[in-house]
Each structure stands twice: as structure tokens, then as C-alpha cells.
Structure 1
Amino acid sequence: MSTIHGASEFGPTTARRQYYSPLEAYWDAFREWRKRERLRTQLCRLTDGELMDIGITRGEIDYVATNRDIDPRGAVLAP
């Protein structure tokens, strides 16, 4: 005697093929580069006072644009 717990969902009848495409990897890298450049440009257009309001200096723009997921206020530079 068997008992089935829970409901099962049916997926699509045709499975999507997973394959590696070097072109897709290059495209993803290009899109990430464009996002960084767009952010860097937007930050460079801000005044020093506006940058101070968001907690960064003009010298930290490259770091912030490259490491978007890291809070620059938590970073401590080693001497």
C-alpha cells in the first residue's frame, strides 16, 4: 500500500535543452561591462556634494562601479 503526500506539478512536455554557448558568455560579459560603464558615467556626473550624500568620494567611483554588491562604507583599506 502506498500513499502519495503532496501534489506534483507537471512541467512542460518539451524540456529546454541546456548547452554551453561561448557567444552567450561573451554577450553576458559585455552586458555586465555596459552596466558598469553606465553606473560609472552616472556617478561621475554627480557633484562632490551629491557623492558625499550617498557616502562615496570621487576616488571610490571605480570601486563602486566594479563591486556593485559591496557597500563601500564597510570596506577598510589596508595600510
Structure 2
Amino acid sequence: MYTALGAAELKQATRSTQRVSNFLGSCWGAFQEWRKRERLRAELYGLNNRELMDIGITRGEIEYFASNGGIDPRGIRTAE
């Protein structure tokens, strides 16, 4: 059975589709950011203590840096 949609129904369907698309886009962006933090965490844990000292952090600060990538406790803004 074929039913033609009126202008109002079509507009509502389009709005619903846009909401779902925006939601999925937000989820995808959050997932990508999470993966980026996980990669950073793995890279930092892979460094030895001397290499960590060279970049100015300690092993105890790795979780902080991985969770707050754009924040530097020394007051220096990191490039992203």
C-alpha cells in the first residue's frame, strides 16, 4: 500500500531524521575523542621514566594528561 506524505508529515519526518543524525554524529565524535585519549594513554605508558621526564611529566600524571588533553597544569596551552 502506497501512502503519499503531505508537506507537514514530510517536514516532521525530516526533523526526526535530522535529530537522529545529529545524535549519531555526537556519539561518533565522542567515541573518536575517547579513542584518541586511549591512544595517548597507551603511548605515554609505553615511555620509560627518562622519556617521560624529557617531556616534563611523571608516570603519576599520565591519567591526568590523557583525560585532560587540552589542559596543561604548567599554564602552557597544548597544541591539538
Question: Residues 13-28 of structure 1 correspond to what in structure 2 (within 5 A)?
Answer: 19-20=18-19, 21-28=22-29
CA apart distance, 1:73: 2.8
Report SS of the residue matched to 1:73. Answer: coil
State the 4+ residue runs in structure 1 displaced beyond 3 angstroms: none
How many corresponding residue pairs? 56
**Which residue of 2 is the match for residue 66 of structure 1?**
67
Which residues in structure 2 correspond to 1:46-57 (within 5 Å)? 46-57=47-58
- Aligned with 1:55: secondary structure? coil
The answer on whether the counterparts of 1:40 and 1:62 sit within 8 Å (CA) in structure 2 is: yes
How big is the alpha-carbon RMSD for the aligned residues of Structure 1 and Structure 2?
A: 1.2
Secondary structure in 1 matching 2:34:
helix
Please state how far the C-alpha of 1:33 moved relative to its aligned partner: 0.0
**What amino acid is the match of 1:68?**
G
Identical-residue share of aligned pairs (%) = 62
Q: Which runs of 5+ in 2 are unaligned?
A: 1-17, 76-80
- When normalised by structure 2's length, the TM-score is 0.64
State the match for 1:8 in structure 2: none
More helix by share: 2
Amino acid at match of 2:50: G
What is the letter of the counterpart of residue 40 of structure 1? R
**CA displacement at 1:31 relative to structure 2:** 0.2
